[in-house]
Amino acid sequence: MSGILRSAKSEDIKIVLDACRSRQALISRKQNKRTERLLQQVWRTSFDRLQAAIVEHIELRRKVFCKHGDDGVILDGCFEANITIFDGLNVYVEIKIRQQTIVILAAHSHYTASLLPQ
């Protein structure tokens, strides 16, 4: 995360919202299906619940930020947010938009003490 947080554009947020509402978002398969493993085995919830939590987050007008690379440059089509899946469980969610319609979601625990603002 860079020192300066820039909010995602409303048109990008709409793509994410539409994909999650219609349950068309895809789950990331990176790192040996880490997101799926965390959802099912650690957090004891489902990918549907993650999508619903993202919809709730956006409808409550909570923050979604542009994601920065290690060099501090904003990554095109990549976003991040601190999402509440259920009371007591906030997770870091990475969102990727591909070809203006495909939304890929990855979630994991926060690695640092400094959480993204909601």
Domain limits of the chain? 10-108
Radius of gyration of the chain (CA): 13
- Are the beta carbons of 18 and 95 closer than 8 angstroms? no
CA–CA dist 50, 10 (Å, integer): 20
CA–CA dist 49, 21 (Å, integer): 11
DSSP assignment of 18-50: HHHHTT--EE--HHHHHHHHIIIIIS---HHHH
Res 112: pLDDT: 56
- b/e map 59-97, b = 16+ CB within 10 Å: eeebebbbbbeeeeeeeebbbbbbbebeeeebbbbbbbb
Res 2: pLDDT: 46
Token readout for 5 is: 């947080």
Name the strand (E) or helix (H) holding 81.
Answer: strand 74-86
**In degrees rounded to 5, what are phi and psi of residue 62?**
-80, 170
Res 109: pLDDT: 76
Res 75: pLDDT: 95
pLDDT tens per residue across all 118 residues of the chain? 446 889 999 999 999 999 999 999 999 999 889 999 999 999 999 999 999 999 999 999 999 999 999 898 999 999 999 999 998 889 999 999 999 888 999 998 765 556 676 7
Res 34: pLDDT: 92
